[in-house]
Structure 1
């Protein structure tokens, strides 16, 4: 006679639902009073808002409103000797505070948007009394936001629950017994004995439940305990589980809400640690900890206690979880420097893991940055999101452009919000690609973005799954212990070379262009500020502003978070960050000018050979003078306009020339133009009637630069009907495009510059371009101003190039990476948009062309066409992205030889960091030149940063090899130097034979970063 398996399974589902209904018995309503404000207020000011009294189903606010709620009541006498909980759901997020103003538990509305296969987002239960006497008073305060986890307005902001309830603990435990066994059974095939035994055990327990009371629940649990206590065998795989609460520092909510999400999450973690002694939790991002320290010091003290005892793992190593495609090289170093510094100073922890679960691709420069920062391990999940190609490993060695390798692991379940349910464990086991060479993998469980991380469902499941027959064993432990264990088998893991390219979210290289421009400008502005601050410090004319610089850096690092800089946050995030960027840039530039003036006025040294435009009269009276400053590490010769005077300035590396200008250089310039062409002594540019480029002829090398079968610099508009801030379809390239139409054109000559001014129109938008050729320069600059008012469209320009090659050189942090420019494989095809920093270059051995830019990152290079993404006007999640006025420059740079011979890297730096002109008062005249701070005798070595050391008055100089060659370089300092030593990126002394102290000679491997710590003083 057959068994009725399907009927039994249906009965078990009904069984679980009935048990769940019996867990909480509501016995009374809470009284609800609230004080509503538009922005958060401190606990001490909690009654300053608009007062309202509320009942169930009353609406208390609109989206992003805040309120302090006061819930009061009395435990009924009938609840004596029962466990009492409070059930609260405000259709938003909230946090319960104790009487001292310390967060003690977060709450999340049940109707929050979330992937329910990963867990239930609602956290609504407050454990109040374990053994009530009846008559106890309830008086609690909660800080609430009228938004769900992902910033949505739910249930019209209504009060859904505010009850006193009895917790039936036996029913509560029975529910999770059923859930775990039922789901384990569903993961096993019906023909296995384990599946059948669980099925009949669950059905037997179901039959024991008639009245669904406590005694029956005990009997049912005894029946199920047989199957729950069946241990797993000698499994070949073990899962290390750690609680996680991925918190985006901004995304679908503003930064101010993130701070409160942190308090809600961290207080919930601490609360659950009291109830679950095996619970291990980890959290990254010192920025988040820093907010807790500043805003919630009592909560922060509790966190420190848990970290000290090993229950809470400080993770990450970077200040935030930043975008690593767009952030500059020195910025990534500072992410690690300030991140590790915080964890060491606050918790005495030396961070060994880079924790970046959700970043949109990973630069090939990262392995070296990490290894030279003392970070040995890397964890991410995001590559599981690839759309076309499945990444071949979960545990592997990741090798960067310089040869540095780091041990990497991706949790095979493919999520950082694991449910920790049997299905999750089975998924990890099935997916783990490297289980043949490794018997360990990682699981990150919990609900992020303010959802409190792991809830009781995660922890109750894990309590039953430690060694449950039918599943591989699961152990809660810090991720560092996991990495140390798998490191022992490091020789068995395969190596992946180069970038970890995410086949998704390529739109983030362009979206929110203003933020990306400010980020680029701030990175260079901070470089300049640190450099001049070091000089002023050595000269003794100004104290190095270390605290101010660190504060500016940390805010810039915050805005490099992987949902801010990439452009994938809501509009308010960008409105607020742009305002702060403007302030920070102004502050940085003021500090820079102040230090330069202090230096120049302290020792006025006029260079008589600086130009042909000097005052012939020398006076002891105060006179206005000008300094032209070059903070780059090579000599520069460029045309400079000072108050209408054109001067060809020859400025040594990392130095300046000072002059007193009186008259314009009157020599004739080798430039000329008409409406259809412009030329200097090196190049001749011809234009089509529609304003596009027809030809660029290199007069020096007698060759055409462009592929003249196509037009160049056509300002093309692409439709993006299905695009969002993250993504656009490659199909848009195959849809007929429209372009801006030329309205006006004129040619202008200004000294050594010839300018073709063009005005274009498209729909509601206008572009004004000045196409500039400068005498003696091989750069064609496209100074561009766009007044953009389009929706769901993308603006691009492209240049078909007369070179033949099968790869493109792309500028990344501390070097270059070569990518294919064809679609031979699915891996090549998937890179239909790629991130590059200051340039991309197509070169044959004898000749090449680079496309430079001063703030753009999204590129497409296929065959011989270089295409640059200029703007993207998406409406999700940030409405009206990129609408408004933008100013930027891109440049076409033809050159002899490949990109190394053509010194493309230098030209890209020069575009981004023009010679700086400082006006200062000169009350004494001294002829002569000042020595450069540092000179490097190798053109392939770039000085990337000069700063004061973190813990001493020593000077840090960071250099890198830019060509991919093994190089030697001698250094010459303009100051007295002592104790020159090699240090790592954390400024710690290292043993390395790359430095010859006697000769000040450095030996570089290809793309290697070397950092020096130097004691400097005036000669």
Structure 2
């Protein structure tokens, strides 16, 4: 008999679509529906109020009115509560309440969702486009829903989240904020019905997926292909479901090859803590997802679910304590696995080193106190690149492994490994895995499994990879279809072996399998995509940077007051402040890729936080700032001379009539620092029209559209500055040049009233330094990157992250550029030198069409000196100015015997013992020997980043040796200073 594979597959698709899926449910009875649109602003109310269990003083009692299938509901971002009443008829099959809230055929977690409650307020199950049912009878039935006579009442909290990732994608939209009251309601109730569910039809559908979907990935030259094809056709010929399943039984029973790739499959839902929805909606998304996970676990004892982000667990604990206790029980069983050990899945490039430490310490502390669990794997599947400081941070916090998959999105080069040893800037290594399925939201399909096998790049060393399955981004998690597919692929010829288990088991096996043969990748994991996130929503970057600087100042001053004066340390206030900062470092908030609602709230939050932290500064005195660990008072600037000249006896700058620096001379040597024929301080405007991801991407073609702002300009000398003002379209740009006495630096402040659309702004600073590589500050050190474009990988780094400074050098001369609030930057060779160009602003259309409209201030300094001088200038420029600051003697200094090292942070210990914690690190990538010099009597011990004694079997280098610190390149040392009894606070 001749068999045509393409016809069989086409027939299979139609049979599934038109004959089997419609038979999955048999309608049994209608239900009665009534609805209450949450009054007022439509913001969520506690479930108890909607269910009539609690009365809110500022809300009217819910008024449910009749509601029918076909009626619309909303408005966008509003909440509608549905009350569903009915009686379950007799049925030999399981009975389910089937609901369709008006879903589109895509974007699970990206539009309307619902959470079903019992009348007593207990969450039962969530609803989304791939999970629109509630089991009422039979195995896995929701408990305590039906009365003795089969009647029931359920409530659905329906969230009218607008669809922002529709077709075409990334169109300009105003739905990032609540629409006007007269906007049409976006959703329509499509179905609400009691149906009999057919487990046999469901099983046949999964059998056909495991065989029919596998066929295109089998080799037609092998017998297996034809036997599966024959079995599928026989199943399609069958006249009933049992015969169809029997036709497939033999091919489904054939075991995988002995050398088949192994896949550890872990249930997961990567839930963005904010993105195309506000923070308040994420709280509900987490609860919905966990409700579904728990329902699945009640029916499938093999399911394991990994969940990151202590913040998301804490939200559920606060909002749904009864649900949280069920979660806690599953964690105790090892079936819900808290992973990552961080407060949120943060951006992994822009936060300061101490912020990353706190992400870990606050997260791991929550996991330990709440679950008695500490994660061993850093879990950051979707952050936009990874600093080279991560391996040391992870290992010094007790992690063994690191997971991400984001580099599979690279737009230029292909990352060469999936399981490898990642070596950080200090030389520390950590075993790292990229799931080769190239997704953190798999559905356990044959295509995904085949891709994982063929894509896996370390086959010579390993035969094992990880698969994260479940709807993500907007949540939803695994569903019963995914689990059923995973079971069929457990041991199936022609497919990899799939095993449901915890991610730590995969990593332990991979570690044992590789031994010391893991390939090594050294340095940062630079993502060749989403480069615009270093600049979009600049207020997020400024708010984060200034909050970090304020926390550093406040924690130190509070520590000094506690140690010296016995003052109460504001533990609770600082914990609250840190948790706020950590939440806003989430990888779609700090990078600026969320809707306008998120960023509007964040701007307000940062303003309140700054005011609160300033109120915690102890003591009083004259205005000043804390630079290093010394209070510095303001100095008068050098008065400008005639013809636009600033001269402090060390540097001489001439500002021309067009408002740019035409010459910057180091007076000691006569060395000119401006590239011949160039000018410092030119503002460059670029047409910024991304191909795909507006807020995320800065594409190559953008940098080819430069327009220099050289039009009409006003140059005026004030008492201590030269002020340059120019207009371009509706935007205004003011550049202010100043010099301090006795400092080899020129300060440049740029004030912008930004009214552009789809444009990007850079500040050009071309210096006469010839170098092949430039150096950028990163967490606890610096990183060197090329200034040329010799290779594809070099060229792909056309926009990179700089923290507070960039430094370029040639023999005899070093020049640094420091900033107070920017991250995006490019440094490229130009004739005669190197052009350092910080990126100031963007104006993308999606997801916030008004990104960064308004006023912004940026401060820069160009200085002569080495990296240590540049770092000191960055400390100075970023130190917060305080209205009243008392003098304070340093609690600790370093007597450096050789090399370069600094104290990065001083605080009181997390355990509230009164011990002081000091974080020290080497700064130049060399070796340093230094001795801690304490300003109070204390004993000194070294700890890990979580302030615990160093494990005796650690392979990480110990710094504290006989009272001295011996530091390797970029090595971090955390010191616990225990005050002597007579000096206890």
Find the partner of 1:976 among 932, 937, 948. 937
Query: Based on CA coordinates, which of the two structures has the bigger radius of gyration?
Result: 1
Cα offsets for 1:78-132 (capped at 9, x unmatched): x433311111121320011233323221111x3xxxxxxxxxxx21011111299
The residue aligned with 1:126 is 134
Does structure 1 residue 534 correspond to structure 2 residue 559?
Answer: yes
| Deviation (angstroms), 1:742 | 4.4
Correspondence for 2:170: none
**Matches of 2:224 and 2:960 in 1, distance apart?**
68
Does the alignment pair 1:632 with 2:656? no
Correspondence for 2:835: 865
Q: Hey, what's the Cα distance between the residues in 2 that align with 1:930 and 1:58?
A: 68
Question: What's 1:187 paired with?
Answer: 217
Q: What whole-Å deviation, never above 9, does each CA across 1:509-528 have from its counterpart, x for those lacking one?
A: 00100111010000010011
1:5 and 1:989, CA in 2 relative to 1: closer, same or farther beyond 3 A? closer
1:221 to 245, 249, 252: 245
Q: How does 1:353-392 map to 2 (within 5 A)?
A: 353-392=377-416
The equivalent residue for 2:619 is: 596
2:579 corresponds in structure 1 to: 554
SS in structure 1 of the partner of residue 616 of structure 2: helix
Q: Does 1:855 find its partner at 2:842?
A: no
Residue range with higher mean Cα deviation, 1001-1010 or 737-746: 737-746
**Pair 520,81 (structure 1): closer, same or farther in 2 beyond 3 Å:** same
C-alpha displacement of 1:189: 2.8
In structure 2, the residue matched to 1:759 is 725
Asked whether the 8 Å contact 1:965–1:1006 carries over to 2, the reply is: yes
Question: 2:867 is paired with a residue of what secondary structure?
Answer: coil
Match of 1:826 among 779, 782, 792: 792
Query: How big is the alpha-carbon RMSD for the aligned residues of Structure 1 and Structure 2?
Result: 2.1
Query: CA 1:627–1:684 in 2, change beyond 3 Å: closer, same or farther?
Result: closer
1:937 paired residue among 887, 895, 903: 895
Structure 1 residue 485 corresponds to structure 2 residue 509: yes
Q: How does 1:342-361 map to 2 (within 5 A)?
A: 342-361=366-385
Structure 1 equivalent of residue 57 of structure 2: none
Residue 778 (structure 2) pairs with residue 812 (structure 1): yes
Q: CA, structure 1 residues 41+670, in 2 after alignment: closer, same or farther (shift >3 Å)?
A: closer
**Comparing 985-994 with 861-870, which one deviates more in the overlay?**
985-994
How far apart, CA to CA, are the structure 2 residues paired with 1:852 and 1:249?
32
Q: Is the 8 A contact 1:151 1:253 kept in 2?
A: no
1:252 aligns with 2:249: no
Q: Could you say which residue in structure 1 is the equivalent of 2:11? A: 11
Match of 1:136 in 2: 150
The answer to whether 1:291 aligns with 2:287 is no
* CA positional deviation for 1:172: 1.4
Contact 2:941 2:960 in 1 (8 A): no
- Cα deviations across residues 508-561 of structure 1 (Å, max 9, x unaligned)? 000100111010000010011111111111134421111111111011000000
Q: 1:425 Cα deviation (Å)?
A: 1.1
Secondary structure of the structure 1 residue equivalent to 2:725: strand
Shift in Å at residue 495 of structure 1?
0.6
Q: SS of the counterpart of 1:343?
A: helix
CA distance in 1, matches of 2:925, 2:3: 70
Q: Secondary structure at the match of 1:673?
A: coil
1:56 counterpart residue number? 69
Corresponding residue number in structure 1 for 2:327: 303
In 1, the alpha carbon distance for the partners of 2:944 and 2:544 equals 25
Answer yes or no: is 1:72 the counterpart of 2:85.
Answer: yes
TM-score w.r.t. length of structure 1: 0.88
Partner of 2:200: 170
Distance 1:917 1:307 in 2: 49
Give the equivalent residue in structure 2 for 1:262. Answer: 286
| Partner of residue 1004, structure 1 | 967
Q: Distance in 1 between matches of 2:95 and 2:929?
A: 73
Cα separation, 2, equivalents of 1:993 and 1:419: 43
Q: Alpha-carbon deviations, 1:615-674, whole Å to 9, x = none?
A: xxxxxxxxxx537563514x68x6625xxxx5xxxxxxxxxxxxxxxxxxxxxx975423
Q: 1:675–1:745: 8 Å Cα contact kept in structure 2? A: no
Kindly state the Cα deviation for residue 5 of structure 1 after the two structures are TM-superposed.
3.7
* Whole-Å separation in 1 of the counterparts to 2:147 and 2:743: 87
Alpha carbons 2:469, 2:478 under 8 Å: kept: yes
Q: Does 1:793 align with 2:759?
A: yes
Q: 1:953 aligns to what?
A: 914
Distance change >3 Å, CA 20–CA 700, structure 1 → 2: same
Give unmatched runs, 5+ long, in structure 1: 111-121, 210-215, 598-624, 647-668, 921-928
Matches within 5 A, 1:891-902: 891-895=861-865, 898-900=866-868
Alignment pair present for 1:963 and 2:924: yes
Kept after mapping to 1: 8 A contact 2:658/2:715: no
1:769 is matched with which residue?
735
Q: Relative to 1, partners in 2 of residues 1:996 and 1:148: Cα closer, same or farther, differing over 3 Å?
A: closer
1:472 aligns with 2:430: no
Residue 146 of structure 1, aligned match among 134, 152, 160: 160
Distance 1:451 1:982, change over 3 A: closer
1:273 matched to 2:273? The reply is no
Cα offset, 1:3, TM superposition: 3.2
Does 151-160 or 392-401 show the bigger shift? 151-160
Deviations 1:679-707 (A, max 9, x none): 21111111232111111111122100010
Matched, 1:106 2:106: no
Q: Distance in 1 between matches of 2:20 and 2:709?
A: 64
Equivalent in the alignment of 1:41:
45
- The alpha-carbon deviation at position 804 of structure 1 amounts to 0.7
Is residue 679 of structure 2 the alignment partner of residue 683 of structure 1?
Answer: no
Distance 1:252 1:732, change over 3 A: same
User: Of 84, 89, 94, which aligns to 2:114?
Assistant: 94
Task: Determine the C-alpha separation between the residues in 1 that align with 2:961 and 2:486.
Answer: 57
Kindly tell me: are residues 700 and 534 of structure 1, through their superposed partners in 2, closer, same or farther at Cα, counting changes over 3 Å? same
Matched, 1:22 2:23: yes
1:336 and 2:354 equivalent? no
Q: Secondary structure, in 3 states, of the residue corresponding to 1:918? A: coil
SS of corresponding position for 1:129? coil
**Residue in 1 that maps onto 2:93:** 82
Instruction: Give the Å deviation of 1:428.
Output: 0.5
Q: Is the 8 A contact 2:762 2:841 kept in 1?
A: yes
User: Deviation at 1:738?
Assistant: 4.5
Cα deviation for residue 914 of structure 1 reads: 5.4
Rate the CA distance shift 1:869–1:49 in 2: closer, same or farther, 3 A: farther
Which residue is 2:875 aligned to? Answer: 909
**Deviation, structure 1 residue 177:** 0.9
Gaps of 5+ in 2: 53-60, 103-111, 140-145, 167-174, 176-183
Paired with 1:591 and 1:469, the residues of 2 have a C-alpha distance of: 65
SS in structure 2 opposite 1:568?
Answer: coil
How far apart, CA to CA, are the structure 2 residues paired with 1:183 and 1:527? 56
Q: Does structure 2 retain, via aligned residues, the 8 Å contact 1:94–1:142? A: yes
Structure 1 distance, partners of 2:233, 2:816, is: 71
Alignment TM-score, normalising by the size of structure 2:
0.91
Q: Which residue does 2:548 correspond to in 1?
A: 523
Cα shift at 1:397: 0.5
SS of equivalent to 2:234: helix
Question: CA distance change for structure 1 residues 964 and 142 in 2, over 3 Å: closer, same or farther?
Answer: same
| Alpha-carbon distance in 2 for matches of 1:10, 1:742 | 67
Residue in structure 2 matched with residue 614 of structure 1 by the alignment: none
Partner of 2:663: 695
Q: Greater shift after overlay, 240-249 or 17-26?
A: 17-26
Cα distance in 2, alignment partners of residues 856 and 672 from structure 1: 27
Quick one: distance in 2 between partners of 1:934 and 1:849?
30
Q: Is the 8 A contact 2:419 2:434 kept in 1?
A: yes
For 1:744-799, what per-residue CA distance to the aligned partner results, in whole angstroms no more than 9, with x for missing partners?
211123xxxx3101111110011222211111111211122211111111111111
Query: Following the alignment from structure 1 to structure 2, what is the Cα–Cα distance between the partners of residues 44 and 2?
Result: 64
SS of the counterpart of 2:76? coil
Q: CA deviation at 1:236?
A: 4.5
